[in-house]
Amino acid sequence: MERARLKRASLFALREPIPRRVALAVTVGVFATLAVAWVVLSYGGFVRPLFLPTPTAVLERAVFLYREEILVRDIWISNVRVFSGFLMAMVVAIPLGMLAGNLPIFAAAVNPFMGFIRYMPVPAFIPLLVLYAGIDEAPKILLIFIGTAVQMTIMVGDVTRRVQPELIRAAMVLGADSREIFRKVIWRGSLPGIVDVMRINLGFAWTYLVVAELVAASEGMGFRILRSQRFLQTDTIFLYILLIGLLGILFDFAFRQLHRFAFPWIRERVRG
Amino acid sequence: MLEAVNVSRVYGTGPDAVTALEHMRLTVRSGEIVCLVGSSGCGKSTFLSLVAGLETPTSGRLLLDGVPLVEPGADRGMVFQSDSLFPWLSVRDNVQFGLSLHETRRTHGGLMGRLYAHCDELLEQVGLWPFRDAYPAQLSGGMRQRASIVRALATRPAILLMDEPFGALDAQTREEMQLLLLKLCAEYGTTVLFVTHDVEEAVFLGDRVVVMRPRPGRAVADVAVPIARPRDRRTRLSPEFQAIRGQVLDHLYESMSTDSP
């Protein structure tokens, strides 16, 4: 009895690991609770379908949109937009962040400027982007680029700055020059952190999707959500929001697996 | 041979300037082990950084075999107190890091080939050969420091610089490491400049112990340790050892009492 009580209490011990099965049960429990609440509230007729469509309605909607060849197309085009903007941001932010994080002259150039842009509301750029880049894919991709590149640069800078100075000193003593230190120590040492930054920023990129597809879009997940609002198609809105959430879980999982296989040196612990 | 002539290092300028090291004079002959002891702020680590080329002296001259030292180079190997192995490289890749930087020179008369072979030989000698493919996180603290020593010796430096390398290890491991270091030095005739705050360690390892005092940091005594080698665990128990240890401690406490403001 006493043991059982102690055991239960230990599930709430600060920073103590809990059994895998318990963790899994809690995670599944949260999703299950939400699902049950949805089922009860919608089928039970507690909430009007306009506000909360039934799971059946959402599924039917999914089948319908799939048959109309809208669903896959929407998912595809939104992914293209998000990843185009995101990859552009990566190309700019990773080198810039590394330089700003490690060379004071770049820090002086980049950091205050990024601070200046960082608080600007991204949607406010839409009129300018339309003016400069037209109404095709360009402004949508640029919007996602602007939304993520700034945060990404700052975060990459932070991560690369956190490579221990002892490692840099050790490399210097072993005869490495600045370029070699950048490549062989700072880059290699901060790569796991950079992958984490990418994981977090991909989430940001998706949150800008709806905003990006405000711009003269005729397809895409964000566009579909906005249009469904006009026609009061709550079931479509639910469907797409859930799908974006699922995509998020998928990408997060992919990044975590990448982390796991690409950086075995973090996980490996003392043998025996 | 390492020669330091009136080496000073001042941080900052004007009224805020701090003299970390003042008029340091020191000669370390080839094959000699010299230990620097002193309380924190005495400039012993600063001096080591200067020799390593990580910092530049404000004034004075530093020569290694007659050549002025201005930047880090393969002629000096360094072992740090903290873990400075690259966590993403295996033990063997860590050890060969310095060599890998000069990959292109490999063609020159097989010298690089010999150095690579030397790395493996050293790993074998310190008992790390079975762990050559392990990552640092998989090793114990003592093993990691052994790997650091091998890495520092890999380029066959003229002098090995050690900055409290065993300070973070438990007492038993530390003793083991000291014996290992002496063994390696005996075998390769390595010249060592060893910084520590542990007087016993300094006397046990050194041919000479240089006592330093803070504010401003400088050397106040140079104590010879004429204890025969090879030294072992029993060396510490000899009256001779204790006498020299007492002598160094006297210098240390003397410097501390005159130091109080």
Residue of chain A nearest B83, judged by CA positions: A166
Confidence of residue A224 (pLDDT cuts 50, 70, 90): very high
Chain A nearest-CA residue for B95 = A174
Average pLDDT over residues A259-269: 83
pLDDT number for residue B256: 66
B54 in reach of chain A (CB within 8 A):
yes
Lowest mean pLDDT among A29-33, A210-214, B89-93, B249-253: A210-214
How far CA A113 is from CA of A100, A129, B98, B116, B130, in Å, comes to 11, 20, 38, 47, 51
Which of A172, A189, A270 is opposite residue B88, by nearest beta carbon? A189
Q: pLDDT of chain B along its 261 residues, tens only?
A: 999 999 999 998 888 888 999 999 999 999 999 999 998 889 999 999 999 999 999 999 999 999 999 889 888 999 998 889 999 999 999 999 998 887 655 555 577 788 888 899 999 999 999 999 999 999 999 999 999 999 999 988 999 999 999 998 999 999 999 999 999 999 999 999 999 999 999 999 999 999 999 888 889 999 999 999 999 989 999 999 999 999 999 999 886 665 544
Place of tokens 């055991």: A7
- To test the contact with chain A by mutation, choose from B84, B131, B135, B149 the residue with the greatest count of A C-beta atoms within 10 A, namely B84
Task: Name the interface residues of A facing B (CB cutoff 8 Å).
Answer: 164, 166-167, 169-176, 180, 184-185, 188-189, 191, 263-266, 268-271
Could you give the count of Cα atoms lying within 13 Å of A120 in the half-sphere of its Cβ? 15
**Residues of chain A positioned with their CB less than 8 A from the CB of B77:** 173
DSSP state of B129: G
Spatial separation of the C-alpha atoms in residues B65 and A271, rounded to whole Å: 43
Question: Among residues B20, B96, B108, B28, which one has the least CA distance to residue B58?
Answer: B20
pLDDT computed for residue A271 by the predictor: 44
The reported pLDDT for the residue numbered B261 is 45
Nearest one of B82, B30, B255 to A167, comparing CA atoms = B82
Which of B 127-156 lie inside 8 A of A, CB atoms?
134-140, 151-152, 155
B207: CB partners within 8 A, 6+ apart: B32, B33, B34, B224, B225
Q: Please provide the size of chain B in residues.
A: 261
Check B84 against A265: CB less than 8 A apart: no
Domain boundaries defined on chain A: 69-266
Digit-coded pLDDT (tens) for A149-201? 999 999 999 999 999 999 999 999 998 999 999 999 999 999 999 999 999 99
Contacts of A75 (CB under 8 A, 6+ apart): A221, A243, A247
Size of interface A-B (CB pairs under 8 A): 76
- Determine whether the interchain pair B86/A169 forms a contact, defined as Cβ–Cβ distance below 8 Å: no
Q: What is the phi/psi pair of residue B5, to 5°?
A: -120, 115
pLDDT of residue B236: 93
Element spanning A250, H or E: helix A234-262
Closest CA to B102 of B132, B75, B120: B75
In this complex, is the C-beta atom of B27 within 8 Å of any C-beta atom belonging to chain A?
no
CB B160 within 8 A of CB B64: no
* Element holding A178 (H helix, E strand): helix A178-181
**Min CA distance, A266 vs chain B (Å)?**
7
Q: What is the pLDDT of residues A2-14, one digit of tens each?
A: 555 555 567 888 8
Q: What is the pLDDT of residues A46-91, one digit of tens each?
A: 999 999 999 999 999 999 999 999 999 999 999 999 999 999 999 9
Each residue of A88-129: pLDDT tens digit? 999 999 999 999 999 999 999 999 999 999 999 988 999 999
Is the distance from CB of B121 to CB of B141 less than 8 angstroms? no
Nearest CA in chain B to A264: B88
How much is the pLDDT for A12?
Answer: 86
- Does residue A1 register a pLDDT over 70? no
> What pLDDT is recorded for position A70?
96
Tokens of B2: 């390492």
Given an 8 Å threshold on Cβ–Cβ distance, is B134 in contact with A189? no
Look at the block and give the residue holding tokens 């873990």: B83
Does the pTM surpass 0.90? The reply is no
CATH superfamily, domain at A69-266 = MetI-like (1.10.3720.10)
Q: Which residue has the tokens 């041919």?
A: B207
